[in-house]
Structure 1
């Protein structure tokens, strides 16, 4: 009797755990007898993965934290390669976490195991030279953005655009009135969302800047209200400490636990730190001002490595400067406030941007888990045959 199809997966953090769980569900719908093994979090465990190591041990952020945990992470990677080489699954799927997963994939591919990487690193923007290496580490890359597959194909690799799961989750038509009703915000007052980042280090750099911009906006619109969604308890603690200082204690700011989509949808415009949050704002069809500030030394290094004329995902995806990017020395309270109020005072430009973001949403809205499942099973069943 043939052994059941065995698929190995590895997700290094919460976002990968969610993608992995959806992928597993889609695979099970097509192949009910499949077995899953590897590393997964609570959602993947609920779908039935046999997790050989704890996912939490891989979910490390920040350079200092990574250095401290490097020996343990290295041991897990060596152990996973050893275990999967012995088990010989029909395919290995690394989900995001490229620094960990691509190294595992390369070893397994060398041992004759099929490999797929799900979620391309940002090679279109940063360290494009990685593409030549990645196409030798994996048999296929499953990409969330349409501009990514051509980069791998040009290097002789195989890649497929499967859409972005966020585009499936968020509604194509954003209901501002309903969002304001849920947040108890009046329809006739200016509302601005502030999104200074999801990490404490980003809060330290960006939140004071965003709050100073908000104070300047209040001079022109004293009735304005502000909302700030917070990703973690640690970022909430840091923001609350800032708001307790005399400079900001009168700021009319509503803090939310999560609910970034609700905050964006309720807002007239969003002030957002550069990163994946900018895509969420675009999918909520809201005008935004993108900003970021890091140490001058880091910025000088990053600037040399960036290969695209824009840093904001909405601008990259639309191929034009659709929303302002105020970075580094341009990230001043005065410039941020002026750019935000320019959106508030330009309804025709906002309407045109909303249409562009709707078109982008429809492009990214694919049946992501199903497309990924079909690709993974193609490799697994090819290996099994």
Structure 2
């Protein structure tokens, strides 16, 4: 029975890997494939056995990682011990989470286990010296952005462009009205309740993000309600994971105390439906910004991290922007308001600016459509084929060393 070990460290990795596992189930040679390691609900729904909680790895930034370090190191030790002994797989697939996965991949490769890494670390944005570590740790990098393979070719690292799975999952043309009707049904509210301006608010998928940026987003919603009094505003917040519901409900309660009429809805998951239904998006920097771009939505990107984390990242960065839409377009096509600039006043003004300039929104949608077409590949199938081929080669080598 073929064996695949894989590790996704956060919800975005779970989202990326699920189509891969689904595609693997369709490959005849992979019949009976055993998949185990660390993954989220989407991967588990495709038959994966998650032996450790993904939440242990879901941290962002140096300060947060240091606080979580003992738990991460313990998990890493247990994982490597398992995979080099009784749980030895035919191949290891690391999904993003480079600070964790590259170390694991290095040790497994030394132990003779083939390693693949899905999602190139952002060596083109910061910490470019990591390419040496990647070369030592990974047999092949599976790149989700087209310009990355050239960087690996120059460094002598095998790589394959597989496209971004979100680009295949999300249609080229959003259906805003249909998405609104679906959300109205989900919330059990009358049809056309969302007539007016729908603003999607995505404060992140980590507890630290909710703690640092969500209060600012709620203050921004309050301010927008005052600034745009003459318009009917609806704020929709998809909750990334169940553990985030309680802190978001607490913030919602405070918002209602200040302004009982403010229309804010919390939804479990449903980020795609919320984005498709929206007119404009207020969003924390991360994979979700690409999701919003693929839904062709104007957005304002924001982020806050502890001061020390910000200083370290600033010194190691190569690009003037952090949001994926801006990185892929090579310029500021959407505003980024980070750290001290992440104030309710500036965020509200930037959201209002999109609402008052429909011509700029139309230009942005055209730009995002071009990006979508470039990223659209049968990603799940391409990654599954790379995994299946690696397993096949590894098994042949064991038979004919």
TM range (shorter): 0.7 to 0.9
1:23: which partner in 2? 20
- Deviations 1:49-83, CA, capped at 9 Å, x for gaps: 6x5x7132674334366334245313313313422
1:311 aligns with 2:322: yes
1:375: which partner in 2? 386
Write out aligned runs for 1:277-292 (5 A): 277-292=288-303
Distance in 2, Cα, partners of 1:48 & 1:264: 28
Question: 7, 12, 20: which one pairs with 1:11?
Answer: 7
- Deviations 1:86-123, CA, capped at 9 Å, x for gaps: 95x54332233333332232223223433211222222
- Deviations 1:7-44, CA, capped at 9 Å, x for gaps: 43222445545544533443343314464354254665
Distance in 2, Cα, partners of 1:58 & 1:193: 25
> Do the aligned partners of residues 107 and 312 (structure 1) sit closer, same or farther apart at CA in structure 2, a change above 3 Å counting?
same
Distance in 2, Cα, partners of 1:280 & 1:122: 18
Question: 11, 36, 57: which one pairs with 2:34?
Answer: 36
How high is the TM-score relative to the length of structure 1?
Answer: 0.88
Tell me, what secondary structure is at the counterpart of 1:141? strand
2:53: which partner in 1? 56
Distance in 2, Cα, partners of 1:232 & 1:108: 31
Query: What is the aligned length?
Result: 377
- Deviations 1:328-355, CA, capped at 9 Å, x for gaps: 2221211111111111111111111111
Deviation at 1:273, TM superposition (A): 1.0
Distance in 2, Cα, partners of 1:122 & 1:358: 23
1:350 aligns with 2:350: no
> Do the aligned partners of residues 295 and 249 (structure 1) sit closer, same or farther apart at CA in structure 2, a change above 3 Å counting?
farther
Question: 223, 233, 238: which one pairs with 1:224?
Answer: 233
Instruction: Answer yes or no: is the 8 Å Cα contact 2:93–2:115 preserved in 1.
Output: yes
2:188: which partner in 1? none
1:121: which partner in 2? 121
Distance in 1, Cα, partners of 2:147 & 2:290: 15
- Deviations 1:203-250, CA, capped at 9 Å, x for gaps: 222222222222222233222221111113332211221222233544
Write out aligned runs for 1:191-206 (5 A): 191-206=198-213
Distance in 2, Cα, partners of 1:136 & 1:29: 32
**5+ residue gaps in structure 2?**
60-64, 185-190
> Do the aligned partners of residues 74 and 181 (structure 1) sit closer, same or farther apart at CA in structure 2, a change above 3 Å counting?
closer
How high is the TM-score relative to the length of structure 2?
Answer: 0.85
